Amino acid sequence: MRVLLAGGAGYIGAHTAVALLDAGHDAVLLDDLSGTHSAAAERVARITDRTAPLVVGDITDDAVVEKAFDEHGPFDAIIHFAAFKAVGESTQKPLQYYANNLGTTFALLRVGIARGIRSFVFSSTGTVYADPVDLPFTEEATTSVDLSNPYSKSKRMNEVVLADVASVNPELNVTVLRYFNPVGAHPSGLIGEDPAGIPNNLMPYVSRVAIGSLERVGVFGDDYDTPDGTGLRDYIHVVDLAEGHVAALEKSAPGYAVYNLGTGVPVSVLGLVAAFEKAVGHELPKQIMPRRPGDVAATYCDPAKAARELGWQTRLTIDDACRDYWHWQQSNPAGYAGV
């Protein structure tokens, strides 16, 4: 199968490119490089010993998508990772988030359907689930467009668009993958998460504290109704997540389908910090902070549908994720910019 990965030089995209190439498929990366570096594509090729061509351009522009098809197609499938993804920033820049996160989908669908793709896999999020009492979230749990931030809203809007497109294109396989909390890095240390500025997510923040570029880990709330008082989250190793995309492509059938990709095993904030301290070999400075507005006590999924229908399940633990992320951080203290 020949696959176009929109946003393919990003954190999850690059790991999925490795998984696809290792599984014998062909991968072409399309990225505007606004949140990553061209080095990611070069390192995918180093890991797999196979070429992963990179096309650079604005994915909201049909002409850019057409260029990828003209130069590297035809493609059997598109996997769509391309999105602005900082939740906090999305509340400050809603127009940019809606324009990009919906516009990329529109361009990929317009060109992809016209060029005869048969499969479209969309990178969605577990934050589309609207009622925290539904735990663990199944694919039938309550969703909404009336969510707390434009990032999550844009993902749910995309799901609605894709369902409607699938309904009038019966030959098209549309698969929506709702991620929970991707963590970790490729065990080679060559590709990993490279957030700009101060990280928004917990593991890269903890890693920056461990490497010495940030002072301490802020723990937002220790009075939740959870075993240790800190929030529970479903952390999935990015390598497992990448393999979920391969399974979705290989098992997809015409129509519209939704799958949770997570472990189903929640880990607390302090639990993740302790696992990272184990990987580092010493304790890290921590500070308990007030709860953040909008945070919930727990969010995790039931991944049974993906196991049943895709034959996919996670293999790697939170300890594996911390070990691999720390290896990436030590090998790349300045991220891809240090190459």
pLDDT in tens, 81-125: 999 998 889 999 999 999 999 999 999 999 999 999 999 999 999
pLDDT at 293: 82
Task: Give me the pLDDT at residue 303, please.
Answer: 98
Residue 132 has what pLDDT? 84
**CA nearest to 178, candidates 94, 121, 253:** 121
Of 142-146, 159-163, 219-223, 254-258, which range is least confident?
Answer: 142-146
**Percentage, residues of the chain above pLDDT 70:** 100
Average pLDDT over residues 155-170: 97
Question: How far is Cα 35 from Cα 8, in angstroms, rounded to an integer?
Answer: 11
151 is catalytic: yes
What confidence tier does 185 reach under pLDDT thresholds 50, 70, 90? very high
Look at residue 133 in the predicted model and tell me its pLDDT: 86
Tell me which residue of 253, 99, 115 sits closest to 174, measured CA to CA. 253
Q: Catalytic residue among 151, 179, 259, 300, which?
A: 151
Q: 232-233 and 267-268 as β-strands: parallel, antiparallel, unpaired?
A: antiparallel
pLDDT of residue 148 exceeding 90, the answer is: no
pLDDT recorded at residue 141: 96
| Among 3, 35, 41, 173, CA closest to 100 | 35
Has residue 307 got a pLDDT over 90? yes
Alpha-helix runs per DSSP H in the chain: 11-22, 39-48, 62-72, 87-92, 94-114, 150-168, 202-211, 238-251, 269-280, 304-310, 318-331
Q: pLDDT digit string (tens) for 247-269?
A: 999 997 899 999 999 999 999 99
The DSSP code sequence of 305-332 is HHHHHH-------HHHHHHHHHHHHHH-
Question: According to the model, what pLDDT value does residue 115 have?
Answer: 98
Mean pLDDT of 133-152: 93
For the segment 66-73, the average pLDDT, to the nearest whole number, is 98
C-beta separation of 326 from 207 below 8 A: yes
Distance in Å from the first CA to the final CA of the chain: 31
Average pLDDT, the chain: 96
Determine the pLDDT at residue 253.
86
Give yes or no for residue 339 having a pLDDT over 70: no
Write b or e for each residue in 11-31: b if 16 or more Cβ atoms lie within 10 A of its Cβ, otherwise e. Answer: bbbbbbbbbbbeeebbbbbbb
| Whether pLDDT at 294 is above 90 | no
Lowest mean pLDDT across 162-176, 238-252, 287-301: 287-301
Q: Note the pLDDT of residue 131.
A: 87
Percent of the chain at pLDDT > 90 equals: 92
Query: What is the Cα–Cα distance from 296 to 15, expressed in whole angstroms?
Result: 29
Q: Which of 285, 268, 300, 262 is nearest to 141 (CA)?
A: 300
Write the single-letter amino acid at 301: C
Average pLDDT over every residue of 166-194: 97
Residue 139 has pLDDT above 90, yes or no: yes
Q: In Å, what is the CA distance from 251 to each residue of 112, 173, 245, 247, 257?
A: 20, 10, 10, 6, 11
Q: Which of 89, 135, 36 lies closest to 335, judged by CA?
A: 36
Which region among 26-35, 193-202, 226-235, 243-252 has the lowest average model confidence (pLDDT)? 193-202
**Range with the lowest mean pLDDT among 101-110, 179-188, 233-242, 288-297?**
288-297
Q: Which residue has the higher pLDDT, 296 or 187?
A: 187
- Residue 82's pLDDT is 98
